[in-house]
C-alpha cells in the first residue's frame, strides 16, 4: 500500500522550497531593519492557553483545533495560531522584565481542521510579528509599515490595506447588544454557523464569507459609530500617521477579527486576485491578552501572514535584494513621533536598520534603553534642530555628539555601512 499525505497537508519539494527560503530570508531582513528578533515556540501547547486567549466560542476553539490527550492525560493542542504561544513564552521566560518595547517575529506551521482549498491547508504556515509594551498609535503604524514595506518588496500583484477599530471593553459591549438587536429579527436567514455566533458573539457574523450573511450584515449598525472617545481618538491618530507616512489604506467599518483578544485597531492586507480568499494577512491590537494569560497589564499589537497564499500569488521570476546594520531614533520632546517615523523611513530606504521610540518616554529613558540594547549610534530629534533641518548624532561608544544636516546624516550612515 502506498501512503499519501493526510488530507489538508502537502509536501514542499526542493523546487518550491527555494521560494520558501527566499521568502523567509526576505521577511527576516525586513524584521532586522525594524529591530524585531526571532522567537520559536513549540508546535503544541496546553489546550487551556488557546481556550482562554482565542475564546471558547470562536470557530477555532469550537470546531477547528487539533486537540489530544498525552499519556499522562494532559490536554494538548497543536497550535492554531501564533500569538497566544508567543505571549506564553514572553511571560514564562521573563521577557516582560526586559527593556520595552519587546519586538518579536516568528515562522512556523499552524494547524486547523478546515476545508482545504487553494492556498488554505490544515497544516499551514504563518509569519507573524508581535510588539509588546507600547499603547501608542505609532506602534500600530510601525507594525503596518513593516508589513506594507515587506509585501511591497515581494513580487506580488496589487494589494490594499484595510483598517478599522473593534473598540475596547468599554464601548464594545454596547455595540454588541445593538448588533444582536439588529440580527434578532433576521436570525432565521443566517447560516447555521452565524445562528450560533449571533447568540455567543454577534461580531463574528460580520466576518462570515457566505453571501446570505454578508447581505444581511450590510445594513447592520457600524462599530465605528459606537466607539468611546479614547478608541475614536486612537483610530484617528493611526489614520493621521498612515497618511503622514503616505501608506495607502481603506477604512472598512465592517472589518472584524475572528479572535476574541483583539481591541481597538484591526487591519488586513487584501489581494483582490485571491477572490473569496483575499486576505494575505491581518492583525491588530490586543491590550488585554497578556493580562488574560496571567501577566501584568501590557499593551500589544501584532500581525500574521499566511505564507501559502503569498507563495501562490507571487511572481517568482523576480527577486528581492538584501541590505545591511542599526541606529536608534530618539525624540527630545512631545509630538515628534511623526518626524521620527518619517526619518526612520528615509533611513530604512537606504538599507540601514532603524528603530524608533514608541513608548513616549523621556530622553534620558530613551538613551538608557539604547544603551541596554547595544546601539552604537543614536539620532536625536529635537524641535529647535528640526527648524534648521538638523539632527543630533550621538556616538554611544565615546559619548561624543555633533549636529548634522540631513545630507550629512545620510553620508555618515552610508559611509559607516560601507
Structural domains of the chain, ranges and CATH numbers in brackets: 14-170+227-313 (3.30.930.10), 172-217 (no CATH), 327-417 (3.40.50.800)
- The whole-angstrom separation of Cα 28 and Cα 129 is 11
- The whole-angstrom separation of Cα 309 and Cα 329 is 35
Q: What is the pLDDT at residue 56?
A: 65
Taking CA atoms, 173 is separated from 228, 238, 255, 292, 390, in Å, by: 11, 23, 17, 18, 48
Question: Structure pTM?
Answer: 0.83
Residues 104/39, Cβ–Cβ less than 8 Å: yes
* Other beta carbons less than 10 A from residue 192's beta carbon: 7
Lowest-confidence range among 9-18, 77-86, 97-106, 400-409? 9-18
| Res. 348: pLDDT tops 80 | yes
How do 354-356 and 123-132 pair as beta strands?
unpaired
| pLDDT per residue as tens digits for the range 283-313 | 999 999 999 999 999 999 999 999 998 998 8
Residues 147-176, mean pLDDT to the nearest whole number: 90
Question: Cis peptide before 126, with omega less than 30 degrees from 0?
Answer: no
- The whole-angstrom separation of Cα 158 and Cα 270 is 9
> What's the maximum distance between 2 C-alpha atoms anywhere in the chain?
77
How do 123-132 and 160-165 pair as beta strands?
unpaired
Taking CA atoms, 39 is separated from 36, 47, 87, 107, 249, in Å, by: 10, 21, 11, 8, 29
All cell numbers assigned to 237: 491618530
Amino acid at each position: 500500500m502506498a501512503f499519501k499525505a493526510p488530507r489538508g497537508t502537502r509536501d514542499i519539494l526542493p523546487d518550491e522550497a527555494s521560494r520558501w527560503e527566499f521568502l523567509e530570508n526576505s521577511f527576516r531582513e525586513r524584521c532586522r531593519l525594524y529591530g524585531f528578533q526571532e522567537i520559536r515556540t513549540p508546535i503544541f501547547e496546553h489546550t487551556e492557553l488557546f481556550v482562554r486567549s482565542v475564546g471558547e466560542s470562536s470557530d477555532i476553539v469550537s470546531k477547528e483545533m487539533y486537540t489530544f490527550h498525552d499519556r499522562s492525560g494532559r490536554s494538548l493542542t497543536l497550535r492554531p495560531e501564533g500569538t497566544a504561544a508567543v505571549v506564553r513564552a514572553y511571560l514564562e521566560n521573563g521577557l516582560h522584565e526586559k527593556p520595552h518595547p519587546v519586538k518579536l517575529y516568528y515562522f512556523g506551521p499552524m494547524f486547523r481542521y478546515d476545508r482545504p482549498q487553494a492556498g488554505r491547508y490544515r497544516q499551514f504556515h504563518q509569519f507573524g510579528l508581535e510588539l509588546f509594551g507600547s499603547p501608542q498609535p505609532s506602534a500600530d503604524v510601525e507594525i503596518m509599515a513593516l508589513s506594507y514595506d515587506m509585501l511591497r518588496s515581494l513580487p506580488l500583484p496589487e494589494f490594499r490595506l484595510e483598517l478599522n477599530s473593534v473598540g475596547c471593553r468599554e464601548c464594545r459591549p454596547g455595540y454588541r447588544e445593538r448588533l444582536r438587536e439588529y440580527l434578532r429579527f433576521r436570525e432565521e436567514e443566517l447560516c447555521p454557523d452565524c445562528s450560533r455566533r449571533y447568540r455567543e458573539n454577534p461580531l463574528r457574523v460580520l466576518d462570515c464569507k457566505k453571501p446570505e450573511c454578508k447581505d444581511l450584515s450590510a445594513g447592520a449598525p457600524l462599530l465605528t459609530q459606537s466607539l468611546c472617545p479614547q478608541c475614536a481618538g486612537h483610530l484617528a491618530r493611526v489614520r493621521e500617521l498612515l497618511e503622514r507616512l503616505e501608506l495607502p489604506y481603506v477604512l472598512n467599518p465592517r472589518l472584524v477579527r475572528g479572535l476574541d483578544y483583539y481591541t481597538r485597531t484591526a487591519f488586513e492586507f487584501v489581494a483582490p486576485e485571491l477572490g473569496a480568499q483575499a486576505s494575505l494577512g491581518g492583525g491588530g491590537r490586543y491590550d488585554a491578552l497578556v493580562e488574560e494569560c496571567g501577566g501584568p497589564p501590557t499593551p500589544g499589537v501584532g500581525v500574521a501572514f499566511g505564507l501559502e497564499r503569498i507563495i501562490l500569488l507571487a511572481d517568482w521570476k523576480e527577486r528581492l535584494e538584501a541590505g545591511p546594520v542599526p541606529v536608534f531614533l530618539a525624540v527630545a520632546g512631545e509630538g515628534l513621533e511623526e518626524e521620527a517615523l518619517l526619518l526612520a523611513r528615509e533611513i530604512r530606504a537606504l538599507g540601514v536598520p532603524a528603530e524608533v521610540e514608541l513608548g513616549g518616554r523621556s530622553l534620558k529613558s530613551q538613551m538608557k534603553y539604547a544603551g541596554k540594547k547595544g546601539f552604537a549610534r543614536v539620532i536625536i530629534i529635537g524641535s529647535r534642530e528640526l527648524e534648521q533641518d538638523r539632527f543630533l548624532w550621538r556616538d554611544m561608544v565615546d559619548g561624543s555628539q555633533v549636529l548634522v544636516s540631513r545630507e550629512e546624516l545620510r553620508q555618515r550612515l552610508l559611509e559607516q555601512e560601507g
